[in-house]
Structure formats: structure tokens, C-alpha cells
A = this chain, B = another copy of it.
Amino acid sequence: MYPTERHQKILDRLKNRKSISVLELAGELHTGEATIRRDLAKLANAGLLARTHGGAMPVNALVSEIPLQVREADQKTAKTDIATLAIQTIFDNETLILDSSSTVLRLVPLLKTKTNLTIFSNGVRTCLMLADISKIRVYGTGGRLRENSLSFVGYGALAAIDTIIADQCFISCKSLSIDHGLTDLDVDEAELRKKMMAKSKKVTLLVDHTKFNQTTSFHIADWDKIDRLITDEKPNDEWLTFLEKMKVDVLWPAISDF
């Protein structure tokens, strides 16, 4: 049996179930566990299913994004580290664009240390948190509301971003790859981030280390669009060399240990 044929069978089996195990698949498809794991890794990478320990779950948006939220909760300190570095790159009187990601959201409380900021965001939670800081002018993009991420996307959001020019934008994404650049699971979010970057003089990417060397369905940008990358762990030498070549400034917490 060819891999592609098996991939299809795996997806078929998963369609009618809420989950399936590696062992189960290995048995039914008469192949080894390693093979199944490799298959699942590919399918998960393509966004066709969600990997779990011991098996996989279908990615019916509803089901899949919740576990992702949970997984993200683990990275709590990572995101705080990132935010602490990021706040140092922001200056008084700037106009910023913030995306709707939870990583960027962590930056919001720290913004109260700056004065006279103007901030645009498509994140409902981001806007809500910013509303507490009265000295910041906050603009929401509006647009279609994505329920699971509580963010505005689509034509309305794109049009809103189109009307402005920002000094900086801070964005995150689901996955990073040297070959494929930044990618995301949602086409609307990807489009919007593309626009955000285009309308900003400087682009900073905030991502924790778990996002490296992964690819998801929708392309956001290539590395030449990124000015600065802030993460929670020192990237490996391959990445550092690559990022230097692409003229991306890289910041991670250890850098302050000198």
C-alpha cells in the first residue's frame, strides 16, 4: 500500500470518530507504529488532523482549537519572557499594530509604562485589555468575528488596516520554517497579518520556541519581511545563521545575562 493511500484511510477512519490511537491504526492497516507516527506527523503538519499523545483527533475547528489553547497555556512563562523583551523595543508616541494572538496579548499590560501610544488591533481581547489603560488611544479593526479566536478578520479588518500607517507591528503565528517562512492555520488571519506587516515601518515577530520548524496551511510572509524576532529560547545555529543572513534581529532572554 502506498503512503498516500494509507493517509486517506487514516483520515477516513478519523472522520467518524473523536479520536484514534497509533496502535489501533498500526493494527488495522497492517503496518508498524513508526510508519503510522510518520503518517500522522505529515497529516498534522498539513493541518488535516491534530496529533495527540498516542494518537490523533480530527480537526473540526471546534474541537481542535480548544486543545491548542490548552497547549498554549503551558507556555505561560515563555510568553512573559517574550513580552518583557518586546516592551523594550517600543517607544513613547509610537503607533503600533498588534495582532490577536495570545503571545502578543501578553505584551498589553506592559504598555502602561509608555506614554502617548496609538494602537490598532483586530483582537477583541486585546482591545478589552487596552481599554483599561486610559492613556492609550485604541482602535479596533472591526470585521467578521472569528468565534474561537475572538478576533476580527475578513474584508472589514483588511480595509481598516489599509487606512493607517504604523511605526511598528507585533505579530505572532502558528509555525515558522526556514523554507516556507511564516504560516498559519487560518487563511483570514494569515491575510490580515500580511496586511498588517505591509502597513508598518518595522515588523517584530513574537513566537515561543515550539513554533520553530513547523509548517501549517496558509502562508503569511517570507523572512525578508521580518525585521526582528523575539523568542524565549536561543534558536539553534542553523536558525541563527539563517536569520543573520536574512537581516533579522533576534532577541531571546539569555541575551540579557551578559
Contact = CB atoms under 8 A, between A and B. Distances in A.
A245 interface: no
B3 A53 contact: yes
Nearest to A150: B131
Interface stretch (A82-90, A140-148, A200-208): A140-148
A140 B138 contact: no
A144 B119 CA distance: 10
Contacts of A19: 1-2, 4-5
Given A2-B53, A4-B70, A160-B156, A143 B140 contact: yes
Given A4-B50, A67-B7, A69-B48, A74 B42 contact: yes
A18 interface: yes
A42 B139 contact: no
Contacts of A50: 4
A52 B1 CA distance: 10
A80 B16 CA distance: 34
A127 B124 contact: yes
B142 A156 contact: yes
Contacts of A8: 18, 63, 66-67
A192 interface: no
A145 B138 contact: yes
A55 interface: yes
A73 interface: yes
A76 interface: yes
A130 interface: yes
Given A2-B53, A140-B145, A141-B142, A66 B128 contact: yes
Given A4-B19, A124-B128, 5 more contacts: A8-B67, A48-B70, A142-B143, A142-B157, A142-B160
Interface of A: 1-5, 7-8, 11, 18-19, 42-43, 45-48, 50, 52-55, 57, 62-63, 65-67, 69-70, 72-74, 76, 124, 127-128, 130-132, 134, 137-145, 147, 150, 152, 156-157, 159-160, 163
